[in-house]
């Protein structure tokens, strides 16, 4: 899974039949510890009604993505499957930590 920030949506008037009725999101993968951008921006099918500025989980697997959006054997390789409320981890030195990261747009 990929932690990402939703930058916006993608509009398309002509598309594969499996994409009919699906919302596409433009997302920026993030480093979970720093909250900073990590890698190229991606397009993913939205299965949780996420919106611009949301912190989300993106699934990047064949069959699992089809099941997440209810389109068996569709040409879909990324799906937003969750909206993240917070990210924290526990340090061996003790105590929970959260990434500083940039604020949501």
Instruction: Tokens for 16, please give them.
Output: 């594969």
* pLDDT, tens digit (0-9, with 9 covering 90-100), for 83-103: 999 887 776 776 666 665 555
> What's the mean pLDDT in 3-8?
97
- pLDDT(26) > 90: yes
The mean pLDDT of 27-52, rounded to a whole number, is: 93
List the domains of the chain with CATH numbers: 2-97 (2.40.50.220)
Q: Say yes or no to pLDDT of 105 above 60.
A: no
| pTM: predicted TM-score of the whole model, two decimal places | 0.80
In sign, the C-alpha dihedral spanning 77, 82, 88, 91 is negative
Are 44 and 25 spatial neighbours (Cβ–Cβ below 8 Å)? yes
Give the residue with greater pLDDT, 26 vs 99: 26
């Amino acid at each position: 899974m990929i932690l990402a920030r939703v930058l916006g949506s993608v509009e398309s008037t002509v598309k594969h039949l499996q994409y009919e009725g699906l919302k596409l999101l433009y997302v920026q993968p993030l480093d979970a510890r720093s909250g900073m951008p990590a890698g190229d921006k991606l397009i993913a099918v939205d299965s949780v009604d996420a919106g611009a500025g949301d912190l989300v989980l993106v699934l990047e697997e064949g069959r699992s993505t089809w099941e997440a959006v209810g389109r068996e054997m569709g040409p879909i390789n990324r799906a937003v499957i969750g909206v993240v409320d917070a990210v924290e981890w526990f340090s061996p030195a003790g105590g929970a930590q959260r990434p500083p990261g940039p604020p949501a747009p």
